Amino acid sequence: MANVIRCEGLTKRYRGVTALDGLHLDVGPGQVFGFLGPNGAGKTTTLRILLGLVTPTAGRAWVNGRPAGDPDGLAQVGAMIEEPAFYPWLTGRRNLEVLALSGPPLPGPPGQVGRVLAAAGLGAVADRKVKGYSQGMRQRLGLAAALLREPALLLLDEPANGMDPAGIAEFRTLLRSLAGRGITVFLSSHLLAEVEQICDQVAVLRSGRLVEQGPVDGLVTARARVRVVLDPADKRAALALLAPWAARPDGPDAVLVDQADGQAVARALGQGGVWPHQVILHRPALEEAFLTMTEDTAAVHDATAAR
């Protein structure tokens, strides 16, 4: 099936500062795709390019099979970039009506504005002026605006900002149900625990370059570590036996082995005649894996070159 998002060598420089550096990215349909990276990594710039708000310095991007920014392609995209902004003197409902008038006619039967307001949990406050909305309510209104045209692709930048825990849980359920209906959700977020729970795949950006892309489980498993507790007298021999995995000492009676599974480590030690007291598999959370990926400069590589 065709990719919903495709970026080829996407580069953006602002007055000599490189915000995005040759990004190659493919996102397939019907999934929740997490787009991660520290502040300034180039996530929002990527989203802006996909929406045609920013022109890339080099490279190309396609959304729904059309060049980024193409009005017909945009008609099938719902977006919420950074903190959503509305006309404060209008009500929530009127804001959405104005947005609806600003583009092609809304799909489906009349009453779409009311339906998306209800779906976002704003039915009761839809006729209040937006200037009186809390940040969480504005986020919900932003989500309602993004869903207005029943898009094939949702681009969301930090959508859960300011939402209460109940709101975040509702939001998680909503995103999963959208993906279940075949809608692709492209989610940029700092809430890594949330991303881990709802995303099928993630891509990690660092300094404008793609560091990793793959299923959440794959990224986490690839960074699993094994801690071997043994007799201090066996430590030197263990380090030699585990050298292929770049093992390193971890205190007087333990050895830490990166990117290995416990069975392989136990077997290598046994075959060398070293019998450990304990072999502990440590599978990091996405947050820990994310920190490892974004802090380790050596890990930065061009994913395309690798492909």
- What does the binding site for other proteins look like in residue numbers (CB under 8 A)? 48, 51-55, 69-71, 73-74, 77, 79, 81-90, 94, 97-103, 105, 145
Residue 74 CB, nearest approach to other proteins (Å): 5
- Cβ closest to other proteins, residue 84 vs residue 208: 84
Could you give the CA distance from residue 66 to residue 197 in angstroms, rounded to a whole number?
31
Q: Match 């333990």 to its residue by tokens.
A: 254
- Cβ closest to other proteins, residue 89 vs residue 275: 89
Q: Parallel, antiparallel, or unpaired for β 32-36 and 184-188?
A: parallel
Whole-angstrom CA distances from 97 to 50, 58, 262, 300 are 24, 36, 58, 45
Residue 293 CB, nearest approach to other proteins (Å): 27
Lay out the sheet containing 66-67: strands in order across: 17-27, 5-14, 58-63, 66-67
DSSP 50: H
- Cβ closest to other proteins, residue 4 vs residue 241: 4
Per DSSP, the residues of 191-229 read: -HHHHHHH-SEEEEEETTEEEEEEEHHHHHHHT-EEEEE
Could you give the CA distance from residue 19 to residue 3 in angstroms, rounded to a whole number?
24
CB-based contact 220:285 (threshold 8 Å): yes
Residue 140 CB, nearest approach to other proteins (Å): 15
Residue 47 CB, nearest approach to other proteins (Å): 10
- Cβ closest to other proteins, residue 94 vs residue 190: 94
Whole-angstrom CA distances from 182 to 92, 117, 175, 185, 305 are 28, 21, 11, 9, 30
- Cβ closest to other proteins, residue 186 vs residue 290: 186
* Amino acid found at 257: V
- Cβ closest to other proteins, residue 65 vs residue 270: 65
Residue 155 CB, nearest approach to other proteins (Å): 9
Assigned token pair, 60: 């190309």
Residue 147 CB, nearest approach to other proteins (Å): 13
CB-based contact 145:80 (threshold 8 Å): yes
- Cβ closest to other proteins, residue 99 vs residue 224: 99
Whole-angstrom CA distances from 17 to 12, 41, 52, 164 are 8, 12, 20, 36
- Cβ closest to other proteins, residue 158 vs residue 234: 158
Residue 103 CB, nearest approach to other proteins (Å): 4
Burial class (CB in 10 A: 0-12, 13-18, 19+), 251: exposed
Residue 95 CB, nearest approach to other proteins (Å): 9
- Cβ closest to other proteins, residue 70 vs residue 150: 70
Residue 87 CB, nearest approach to other proteins (Å): 6
Separation of CA 93 from chain center = 30
